[in-house]
Amino acid sequence: MKGAGTDETAIINILARRTNYERQELCRSYKSLYKHLVVDTPYMLAKSLYYAMKGLGTNDRVLIEIFTTLWNDETRAVADAYKQVLKDKGIEESERSLVTDMKKEISGDYEYALMCLVQAERDEIPLLQLKAIPEKGINSIINHELAEADAKDLYASGVGTPYQLYLTSEIYFKMYGKTLLEHIESETSGDYRKLLVAILRYAIDRPGLIAEWLHDSMAGLGTKDYALMRLLITRSEIDLQDIMNSYESIYGKSLLNAVIDDTSGDYRRTLCVLLGETYNQ
């Protein structure tokens, strides 16, 4: 960037082809030299949450998309980052936090279910068990007795691992002849329904759900750029290839082509590199 003009291609290729950890290391080094502000994933998500609740009304879609996908440690990191966002916005009220701000915006069953996620109350799976999944299979981390009890009690408030909830859904269908998703859609409404459906679908078909979110971010007039960027960046090191496969299967068009058709300039080129391709037009 020094001198006349900026080599955007070099910047895009350097940043988009690095892991998030490598980007943060690069940013830390760069910031130490040039004092530019850079952010990590928890801060990015915290900032998205701040703007989702700022002003009149709440963008509940952002809240649902973010908290449905986080594990407990990630949720705690976002909550800590939210305090920094408030500080950066010049808000010095010590009593304010992610939880207090959210409780001002939501209520009822929706508040209860979302707070279960926000307060990091999901059951955790020990790291050693997660590492053993390829060898021992997914059943090695699932409590079958709890899943059956959960099915009987319609345990769909969001507390529990996605893996556990997946089996609960399977058992529920065998016991009652209808899917847990069908029950939720027929017995709940509004944002509460949207949250429960997202929690369940994330457990059953995570790539398909996120593919749908990506499609929605580009549907209609204009593009929800912040949603598109947030989803692509946060999934780029987790399951983006699976999401790309699901997107093409569902919509008959590749996610790459959808992004190319709906974006432009350096923004388009950066997203394409995140998707594993170089776009030079």
CATH number of the structural domain spanning residue 195: 1.10.220.10
Give the model's pLDDT for residue 183: 80
Q: What's the rounded Cα separation, in Å, for the pair 107 and 86?
A: 22
By C-alpha distance, which of 132, 20, 114, 119 is closest to 62? 114
Q: What's the rounded Cα separation, in Å, for the pair 262 and 156?
A: 36
* Domain end marker among 204, 232, 261: 204
The residue behind tokens 């960027």 is 229
Tell me which amino acid residue 160 is.
G
One domain, residues 111 and 170: no
Give the model's pLDDT for residue 266: 77
One domain, residues 75 and 87: yes
Asked whether 239 and 198 are in contact (CB, 8 A), the reply is no
Sequence-ordered list of residues with C-beta below 8 angstroms from that of 147, at least 6 positions apart, any chain: 164, 167, 168, 170, 171
Split into its structural domains, the chain has a count of 2
- Going residue by residue through the chain, which has 281 residues, state the pLDDT in tens, using 9 for 90 and above: 454 455 667 677 777 777 887 777 666 645 543 333 356 899 999 999 999 999 888 999 999 999 999 988 999 999 999 999 999 999 989 999 999 999 999 999 999 889 988 987 655 544 443 344 344 443 443 344 544 454 445 444 444 556 667 777 777 777 778 787 888 888 889 999 999 899 889 988 999 999 999 999 999 777 788 899 899 989 988 999 999 999 999 999 999 999 999 988 878 888 898 898 887 77
Establish if 271 belongs to a structural domain: no
> Which pair of tokens denotes residue 250?
């569902």
One domain, residues 84 and 115: yes
How many contiguous H segments (helices) and E segments (strands) does the chain have? Answer: 18, 0
Asked whether 85 and 54 are in contact (CB, 8 A), the reply is no
Q: What's the rounded Cα separation, in Å, for the pair 268 and 52?
A: 24
By C-alpha distance, which of 52, 43, 133, 114 is closest to 80? 43
Establish if 56 belongs to a structural domain: yes
One domain, residues 111 and 67: yes
One domain, residues 61 and 74: yes
> Which pair of tokens denotes residue 247?
């997107």
Establish if 181 belongs to a structural domain: yes
* Domain end marker among 168, 183, 204: 204
One domain, residues 92 and 131: no
**Helix/strand/coil for 177:** coil
* Domain end marker among 163, 183, 204: 204
One domain, residues 45 and 116: yes
Establish if 97 belongs to a structural domain: yes
Establish if 210 belongs to a structural domain: no
One domain, residues 160 and 97: no
127 lies in which domain range? Answer: 123-204
Establish if 128 belongs to a structural domain: yes
One domain, residues 135 and 110: no
One domain, residues 49 and 101: yes
One domain, residues 134 and 99: no
Establish if 186 belongs to a structural domain: yes
One domain, residues 134 and 108: no
Establish if 232 belongs to a structural domain: no
Asked whether 269 and 279 are in contact (CB, 8 A), the reply is yes
Count the Cβ atoms, other than its own, within 10 Å of residue 129.
12
